[in-house]
Chain A
């Protein structure tokens, strides 16, 4: 089931007269293709949870429309939309067993949809098997680990075979190891059921790793939509560039002069076709290549060995971050006693942004 959001806007009235209204979601337009896993990504307070609540129907939009397929569901109450929602804290009923929790949505069905006890049980068991908790059915939620509770919550959301599955920060309550495991699990469940799934996260790793598409939001406004790799490789503005990637992108004050990019006094990269101007330069950590004769000189602070690769921490007067972090393969040895370290740059990994508007320069803008 594809989901279409049309000029979706949500305003919250301000608490005092002097403050302006809060626009949590501002003119959101997006068509989510059928059967895809979509990550809504942004820093906290960017309106991603509100967007999810609008799609679920827990909140009504101020203006704009929501379609599931061809149906306009904007004015439908949540129960008639056919959505399953996994809450951030799971919201499992603590006094009911796992099985009763999963059965709960089915027991609410009435009229022609009403199921026999046998059918309900079968569907609940099917959902439980899908998320691999079929051995825990008689337990209470308090007797389950965080990851297991998460699965129960997913099973409960899936048991009514929703048209759209929504997840609010599905991994935020899990520890790091479980997070890795669970996100693959979410991917598997999504692919097995083929249900269009939208999940909210502030963790870009999470969103990048399992989504078919990510939507990056900031202050209620959609910044960029696209496949994770595309968005990472071609950020449309400085915010998207800094928000995606760990370690984060390194930002410098730079200048284009005579079709060359200057940072400080050094011409670090040729940039044909761009007029002379001041620019913000974003360089991904993996965009640095250790090169004794490289054009870009940084003051070496320290070298951190990560095992798989080496992280070189350095400073530069034109850097907007306190330190610059570059990732290089371990086989390249850095002279730790040296005061400076020289790099050449990988052109793809260097992004230029307009100094005033923060919009990307030089790369063709992707919608």
Chain B
């Protein structure tokens, strides 16, 4: 090793140390936990090594419910939030007066605390003995049956969770997309106008390809974020997510560690690694698709 590369390693040392301590070591530890059967955190003992933890987790109805919830959440919120954010950004980009005001307004949810927003949503949607909640009142005006969105049927709860998630993740996407749209060279639009390109074709053939790297970035981070959803569900449905039937995979991991039934680090580790495998697979697929479609 020559002097120059020594210097390089020295510069990298702080980062490597931190990552090693707080990332690589725990990861390896989690991997080990997940194979240790019957691990007892008090006595730090275990019976044997094997795949039992995985088979337990994969057969646990709570885990399966959490997987189902998470997948529904991902499949609904990622495309919807990206699509709506794109529409709003296009709108923002098209107007001149008050654009900054609107941008600020759309960005507000991003700087608001998740739990506070969750509380607001709960008040909006919850049905109690005293009041039906604002949303139910509005539903009634339109002649619909009132529904308890927080403690009621599964679809209603899922609707609130999705609605809430979309609402929370949208500002960041709008921010990214408006700046991406603003950075497209205006000459392309002039050129397209000269050629009499209809506006939909301009959007589809010019705007969309130009901002496609940003869209893929948002989709990939959106997928990862939605798979890791947890605090949103807590904010809406309280800490006992299993009872509410609204648990997510991360929520399941947390419950296994610290919840009422806590103290099962091995099951938690196995569940975490299953989540890791899912996210990794989806991200790889995403990257493969984007490499094919983002052309420059």
List residues of chain A with CB under 8 Å of any chain B CB: 56-58, 77-80, 83-85, 87, 89, 91, 93-95, 104-105, 108-109, 140, 142, 160
Residues of chain B with a CB closer than 8 A to A109's CB: 196
Closest to B202 in A: A108
Residues of chain B with a CB closer than 8 A to A77's CB: 193, 196
- The reply to whether B196 and A78 form a contact with Cβ atoms under 8 Å apart is yes
Q: Which of B114-122, B124-132, B156-164, B183-191 has 4 or more CB atoms under 8 Å from chain A?
A: B183-191
The 6 residue pairs across chains A and B that have the minimum distance between CB atoms: A79-B196, A105-B195, A91-B187, A91-B191, A95-B209, A95-B295
7 A-B contact pairs sorted by A residue (CB < 8 Å) = A77-B196, A79-B193, A80-B196, A89-B185, A91-B187, A91-B190, A105-B194
- The reply to whether A94 and B194 form a contact with Cβ atoms under 8 Å apart is no
Mark each residue of chain B from 167 to 203: 1 if its CB lies under 8 Å from any CB of chain A, else 0: 0000000000000000001011011111111100100
Q: How far is the CA of A91 from the CA of B295 in the complex (A)?
A: 17
Is residue B296 within 8 Å, beta carbon to beta carbon, of the partner chain? Answer: yes
Residues of chain B with a CB closer than 8 A to A94's CB: 210, 296
Closest to B189 in A: A91
**Known: A108-B196, A108-B198. Is A87-B295 also a contact (CB below 8 A)?**
no
- The reply to whether A93 and B185 form a contact with Cβ atoms under 8 Å apart is no
Number of A-B contacts (CB under 8 A): 59
Q: How far is the CA of A142 from the CA of B295 in the complex (A)?
A: 11
Is residue B108 within 8 Å, beta carbon to beta carbon, of the partner chain? Answer: no
- The reply to whether B196 and A85 form a contact with Cβ atoms under 8 Å apart is no
Classify the interface of chain A: helix, strand, loop or mixed. loop
Nearest chain A CB to B53's CB is how many angstroms away? 48
Closest to A53 in B: B190
**Known: A91-B188, A95-B210, A108-B201. Is A142-B193 also a contact (CB below 8 A)?**
no
Which of B194, B198, B209, B296 is A56 in contact with, Cβ under 8 Å? B194
- The reply to whether A140 and B296 form a contact with Cβ atoms under 8 Å apart is yes
- The reply to whether B190 and A58 form a contact with Cβ atoms under 8 Å apart is yes
- The reply to whether B187 and A78 form a contact with Cβ atoms under 8 Å apart is no
Residues of chain B with a CB closer than 8 A to A108's CB: 195-198, 201
- The reply to whether B191 and A87 form a contact with Cβ atoms under 8 Å apart is yes
Which of A56, A80, A87 is B187 in contact with, Cβ under 8 Å? A87
**Known: A79-B196, A91-B185, A95-B210. Is A142-B191 also a contact (CB below 8 A)?**
no
Is residue B24 within 8 Å, beta carbon to beta carbon, of the partner chain? Answer: no
Closest to A106 in B: B195
**Known: A87-B187, A142-B296. Is A93-B206 also a contact (CB below 8 A)?**
yes
Q: How far is the CA of A199 from the CA of B236 in the complex (A)?
A: 64
Residues of chain B with a CB closer than 8 A to A89's CB: 185, 187
- The reply to whether A58 and B197 form a contact with Cβ atoms under 8 Å apart is no
- The reply to whether A160 and B195 form a contact with Cβ atoms under 8 Å apart is yes
- The reply to whether A83 and B196 form a contact with Cβ atoms under 8 Å apart is no
Residues of chain A with a CB closer than 8 A to B194's CB: 56-58, 78-79, 83-85, 105
Closest to B185 in A: A91
**Known: A95-B209, A140-B296, A142-B296. Is A87-B196 also a contact (CB below 8 A)?**
no
Residues of chain A with a CB closer than 8 A to B198's CB: 108
Q: How far is the CA of A83 from the CA of B193 in the complex (A)?
A: 11
Q: How far is the CA of A160 from the CA of B198 in the complex (A)?
A: 16
Residues of chain B with a CB closer than 8 A to A95's CB: 209-210, 295-296
Residues of chain B with a CB closer than 8 A to A91's CB: 185, 187-188, 190-191
Q: How far is the CA of A95 from the CA of B295 in the complex (A)?
A: 6
Residues of chain A with a CB closer than 8 A to B197's CB: 79, 104, 108
